[in-house]
């Protein structure tokens, strides 16, 4: 994959200006605190255009908070976030979002298709109902995750993995350029894992950028091109081959020596 | 008596009572519609705090009207007072749960009782003043349809229809707000403003319902119809309509009953009717009702026990007790042996068990896709070629 790897520091140098415009996501000096305790500390990051990026770090490292702060779902103490060179509030249409599955009530009275159609709401606009064309787009998104047969099912009757795929389909229905996904592989069955991975690869092939909180160190290098190692601050960032090293991982996971990813026991 | 009830129900008992009944039905309709989203957004109890918090505002507005020398109690002024103190109560709940360590339910409990207590104190002060018209204030606590003037009933009906219309217009926005506010925010919907609109509509229904249902019980019009409707459907549009219908029916029947028995507090009667709808839904709704669930569970247990008994019999093991009787009743067994029909059923049950066992061993990942695996006959759940495949692999040796 050919792209221009830029760090925030080199951003101003004109000879290094990217020929394909501003990066999909640029974070500068982002700090987030709950009450008075910082959860993210002075995070700088520029995502390379097109590519699958894993956000990796121990529990409580601020991985989900990073995504939520980028999306404006938790207040920032300081820092700026830009999407394709403009503040995120102006770029909503370019963003797709897969929240954690536990974040909603699955007994809610909607079908799988209803949920996926929510991905189209941004394109539909105020007061208008969901038209047939948008429902078809939603159904197509369900097909892409292998869930078309379950379109009419109430979401509470789906298995955990199927619910995860519904969330993924909803993000696909957004037809975004930049996707944020919070643990899409967490607690899913093998079929869902394959479906999610296939969708990630399709998005990558279509030139989209996906930023994915990921908890399974073993699969980071197989599934993703880049990794952002996070533990309150950015420990390392770059292509997986360069950053998924025992040394950097041990620094991310609290300074204890860590075995190489291949040797990590499945937990 | 029955004649009179029928006349009121069918709007033939004079224009005034017809208007009151129709106005109350519209109130129930609005309560069900707005309440559906309050329930789904988990704001039902907040609206209880809101309605109790209206009392001090009503009292203060009454005093202000008297001080200004208004000739009699002015309903718009009283309701304006209700809105102001209701919203103040709402904001207090928000502030308490946001900026202190109190959870929302304790904040609601504190605000609800303190505001209501303040209102009761003010009311008893008012009772001892040398003023006219204070007797009417009591109707705000328990409600009284008889107190409703014709113009007020028409106004309530129109306003309630307006609230229901607002929900219809914002249907899609409220749906995503209630299901996944985070996602809605990322998509650019003003989540805070939408929540404000929803609470505003709840305030609206509460305030126009104050006189009829009374502030203690008005929250029931927001909560009970959607809660009852939830037993009947899994689809939001149907749920909203069902809640609106249950609310409207409760208002209609309740207002009729309270016209027949003017001594009973109207609010309580309306709420009891709504409660009746809830009870019926809770017990008898086809998919989610208690009776249906018990029957389903019972049938499932019986079907497992029956198949177990049949295969036992087939293998020559004895079957005793109630199950033996059941097999005889079903015509599966006679004189301690299987009938031809029983033998057929036993062979089918044995084959189902064998094939499901095979399926479970070979394709554990496919299980979640088949909701009734292991329960229904395998041929009606799995595709034919899959069943043939399992058949080949599990031929008994």
Residues of B in contact with A149 (CB under 8 A): 369
Mean pLDDT is highest, among B32-36, B333-337, B355-359, for: B32-36
A8 in any annotated domain: no
Q: How far is CA B250 from CA A225, B221, B272, B320, B393, in A?
A: 61, 9, 8, 52, 60
Which residue, chain included where needed, has tokens 């952002």? A228
Cβ–Cβ under 8 Å, residues B151 and B211: no
Average pLDDT over residues A122-129: 93
| Sequence spans of domains, chain B | 2-287, 291-393
Q: Which residues, 6+ apart, have CB-to-CB distance to A138 below 8 Å?
A: A113, A116, A117, A119, A120, A169, A173
Provide the shortest C-alpha distance from residue B365 to chain A (in Å): 7
Cβ–Cβ contact B316 with A under 8 A: no
Q: Which backbone phi and psi does A170 adopt, to 5 degrees?
A: -60, -40
> Residue B386: which pLDDT band, with cuts at 50, 70 and 90?
confident
Q: Using CA atoms, how far apart are residues B216 and B267, in angstroms rounded to an integer?
A: 9
Closest CA to B281 of B246, B253, B255, B254: B246
- In this predicted complex, what is the ipTM? 0.88
DSSP string, B156-214: HHHHHHHHHHHHHHTHHHHHHHHH-HHHHHHTT--HHHHHHHHHHHHHHHHHHHHHHH-
For the ranges A50-54, A75-79, A243-247, B389-393, the lowest mean pLDDT is seen at: B389-393
Paired with A80 in beta bridges are A28
**Could you tell me if residue A226 is inside a domain?**
yes
Is it the case that residue A129 has pLDDT exceeding 50?
A: yes
Provide, as residue numbers in chain A, all residues whose Cβ is less than 8 Å from the Cβ of B181.
none
Instruction: Specify the CATH number of the domain B2-287.
Output: 1.10.3470.10
User: How far apart are the C-alpha atoms of B224 and B31, rounded to whole Å?
Assistant: 9
The partner residues of A83 in beta bridges, in order of sequence, read A25, A86
Nearest chain A residue to B178 by CA: give it: A108
CA distance A71 to chain B (A): 6
pLDDT digits (tens, 9 = 90+) for B270-283: 999 999 999 999 99
Partner-chain contact B189 A115, CB within 8 Å: no
Instruction: For chain A, say whether B340 makes contact (Cβ under 8 Å).
Output: no
Is residue B384 over pLDDT 50? Answer: yes
Among B170, B172, B368, the residue with its CB nearest the CB of A162 is: B368
Domain count, chain A: 1
Chain A residue at shortest CA distance from B180: A104
Which residues does chain B have within 8 Å of residue A75's beta carbon, measured at their own beta carbons? Answer: none
Average pLDDT of chain B to the nearest whole number: 88
Which tens digits make up the pLDDT trace of B259-270?
888 888 888 999
The answer to whether A115 contacts B179, with C-beta atoms less than 8 Å apart, is yes
Interface with chain A: mutation pick from B99, B178, B234, highest number of A CBs within 10 Å: B234
User: In this predicted model, what pLDDT tens digit does every residue of B223-264 receive, in sequence order?
Assistant: 999 999 999 999 999 999 999 999 999 999 998 998 888 888
A vs B, Cβ pairs < 8 A, gives 87
Q: Is B182 near chain A, with CB under 8 Å?
A: yes
> Nearest CA of chain A to the CA of B36: how many Å?
11
Q: Please name the residue that has the structure tokens 């409220």.
A: B174
Q: Which two tokens stand for residue A131?
A: 């038209």
Query: Which chain A residues have any C-beta within 8 angstroms of a chain B C-beta?
Result: 68, 71-73, 89, 92-93, 95, 97, 99, 103-105, 108-111, 114-115, 118, 121-122, 124, 126-130, 149, 154, 156-159, 161-162, 170, 174, 180, 189-191
Q: Is the pLDDT of residue B370 over 70?
A: no
Question: Residues near A25 by Cβ (< 8 Å), separated by ≥ 6?
Answer: A45, A46, A47, A70, A81, A82, A83, A178, A209, A211
Answer whether residue B368 shows pLDDT above 70: no
- pLDDT greater at residue A182 or residue B70: A182
- pLDDT for position B136: 76
pLDDT at B74: 81
- B178 has a chain A CB within 8 A of its CB: yes
Domain extent for A129: 49-70+93-256
Question: Which residues are CB-contacts of A199 (< 8 A; sequence separation ≥ 6)?
Answer: A144, A145, A168, A172
Does residue A171 have a pLDDT over 50?
A: yes
pLDDT in tens, A178-225: 999 999 999 888 889 999 999 999 999 999 999 999 989 999 999 999
Q: Check CB contact under 8 Å for B172 and A159.
A: no
pLDDT for A58 equals 92
CB atoms B368 and A159 under 8 Å: yes
% pLDDT > 90, chain B: 47
pLDDT digits (tens, 9 = 90+) for B126-149: 888 877 777 778 888 888 776 677
**Coil vs helix vs strand at A193:** helix
Q: CB–CB of A116/A166 below 8 Å?
A: yes
- Whole-number CA gyration radius for chain A: 19
Residue B43 sits at the chain A interface (C-beta within 8 Å)? no
To the nearest whole percent, how much of chain B has pLDDT over 70? 95
User: Residue A189 and residue B368: Cβ atoms within 8 Å?
Assistant: yes
Query: Which CATH number belongs to the domain containing residue A188 in this structure?
Result: 3.40.50.300
Sheet holding A86-87, edge to edge: A37-46, A25-34, A78-83, A86-87
Give chain A's end-to-end CA distance (angstroms, integer).
Answer: 32
Using the predicted structure, report yes or no on whether residue A113 has a pLDDT greater than 90: yes
Average pLDDT over residues B80-97: 93
Residue A129 forms part of a structural domain: yes
CA–CA distance from B209 to each of A165, B30, B74 (Å)?
44, 10, 16
A228/chain B closest Cα distance in angstroms: 22
Nearest to B203 by CA among B47, B53, B392: B47
A19 pLDDT tier (thresholds 50, 70, 90)? low
Q: With CB atoms and an 8 Å threshold, state whether A121 touches B172.
A: yes
CA atoms within a 13 Å half-sphere pointing along the CA-CB vector of B80: 9
From the list A153, A104, A108, the residue with the least C-alpha distance to B40 is A108
Looking at residue A17, its pLDDT comes to 42
**Chain B residue numbers touching A92 (CB-CB < 8 A):** 186-188
Note the pLDDT of residue A7: 40
Q: Strand A233-239 to strand A226-231: parallel, antiparallel, or no bridges (unpaired)?
A: antiparallel
Burial class (CB in 10 A: 0-12, 13-18, 19+), A36: exposed
Q: How many angstroms separate the Cα of A229 from the Cα of each of A48, A100, A183?
A: 15, 20, 15
The predicted model gives A145-159 an average pLDDT of 93
DSSP B369: G
pLDDT at B373: 74
Q: What's the mean pLDDT when you consider all of chain A?
A: 88
Which of residues B316 and B11 earns the better pLDDT score? Answer: B316
Confidence of residue A4 (pLDDT cuts 50, 70, 90): very low
pLDDT at site A86: 93
Assess whether pLDDT exceeds 80 at residue B41. Answer: yes
């Amino acid at each position: 994959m050919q792209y221009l790897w830029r760090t925030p520091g080199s951003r101003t140098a004109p000879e290094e200006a990217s020929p394909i415009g501003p990066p999909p996501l640029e974070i500068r000096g982002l700090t987030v605190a709950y009450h008075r305790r910082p959860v993210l500390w002075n995070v700088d990051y520029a995502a390379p255009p097109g590519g699958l990026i894993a956000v990796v770090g121990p529990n409580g490292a601020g991985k989900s908070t990073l995504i939520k702060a980028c999306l404006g779902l938790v207040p920032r103490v300081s820092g700026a976030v830009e999407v394709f060179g403009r503040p995120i509030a102006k770029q909503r249409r370019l963003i797709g979002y897969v929240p954690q599955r536990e974040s909603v009530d699955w007994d809610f009275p909607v079908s799988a298709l209803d949920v996926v159609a929510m991905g189209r709401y941004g394109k539909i606009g105020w007061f208008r109902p969901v038209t047939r064309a948008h429902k078809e787009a939603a159904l197509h998104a369900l097909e892409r995750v292998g869930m078309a047969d379950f379109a009419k099912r109430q979401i509470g009757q789906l298995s955990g993995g199927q619910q995860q795929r519904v969330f993924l389909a909803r993000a696909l229905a957004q037809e975004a350029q930049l996707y944020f996904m919070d643990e899409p592989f967490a607690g899913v069955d093998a079929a869902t894992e394959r479906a999610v991975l296939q969708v990630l690869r399709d998005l990558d092939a279509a030139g989209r950028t996906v930023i994915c909180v990921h908890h399974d160190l073993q699969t980071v290098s197989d599934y993703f091109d880049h990794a952002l190692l996070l533990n309150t601050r950015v420990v390392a960032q770059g292509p997986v081959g360069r950053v998924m090293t025992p040394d950097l991982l041990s620094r991310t996971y609290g300074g204890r020596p860590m075995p190489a990813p291949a040797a990590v026991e499945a937990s | 008596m029955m004649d009179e009830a029928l006349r009121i129900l069918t709007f033939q008992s004079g224009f005034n009572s017809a208007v009151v009944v129709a106005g109350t039905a519209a109130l129930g309709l609005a309560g069900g519609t707005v309440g559906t989203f309050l329930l789904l957004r988990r704001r039902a109890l907040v609206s209880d705090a809101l309605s109790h918090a209206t009392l001090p505002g009503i009292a203060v507005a009454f005093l202000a009207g008297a001080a200004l020398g208004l000739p009699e109690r002015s309903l718009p002024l009283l309701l304006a007072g209700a809105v102001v103190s209701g919203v103040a109560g709402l904001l207090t709940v928000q502030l308490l749960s946001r900026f202190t360590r109190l959870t929302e339910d304790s904040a609601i409990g504190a605000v609800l009782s303190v505001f209501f207590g303040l209102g009761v104190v003010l009311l008893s002060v008012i009772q001892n003043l040398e003023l006219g018209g204070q007797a009417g204030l009591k109707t705000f606590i328990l409600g009284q349809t008889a107190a409703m003037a014709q113009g007020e009933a028409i106004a309530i009906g129109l306003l309630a229809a307006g609230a229901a219309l607002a929900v219809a217009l914002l249907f899609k926005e409220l749906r995503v707000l209630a299901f996944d506010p985070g996602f809605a925010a990322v998509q650019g919907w003003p989540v805070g403003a939408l929540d404000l609109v929803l609470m505003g509509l709840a305030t609206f229904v509460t305030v126009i319902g104050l006189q009829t249902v009374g502030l203690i019980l008005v929250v029931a019009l927001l909560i009970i119809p959607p809660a009852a409707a939830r037993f009947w459907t899994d689809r939001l549009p149907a749920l909203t309509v069902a809640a609106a219908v249950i609310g409207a029916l409760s208002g209609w029947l309740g207002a009729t009953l309270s016209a027949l028995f003017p001594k009973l507090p109207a609010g309580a009667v309306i709420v009891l009717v709504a409660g009746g709808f809830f009870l019926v839904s809770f017990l008898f709704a086809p998919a989610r009702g208690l009776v249906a669930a018990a029957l389903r569970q019972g049938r499932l247990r019986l079907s497992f026990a029956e198949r177990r008994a049949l295969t036992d019999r087939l293998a020559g093991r004895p079957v005793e007790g109630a199950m033996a009787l059941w097999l005889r009743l079903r015509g599966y067994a006679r004189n301690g042996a299987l009938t031809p029909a029983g033998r057929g059923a036993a062979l089918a049950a044995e084959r189902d068990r064998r094939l499901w066992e095979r399926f479970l061993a070979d394709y554990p990942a496919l299980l979640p896709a088949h909701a009734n695996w292991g329960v229904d006959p395998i041929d009606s759940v799995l595709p034919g070629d899959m069943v043939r495949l399992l058949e080949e692999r599990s031929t008994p040796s």
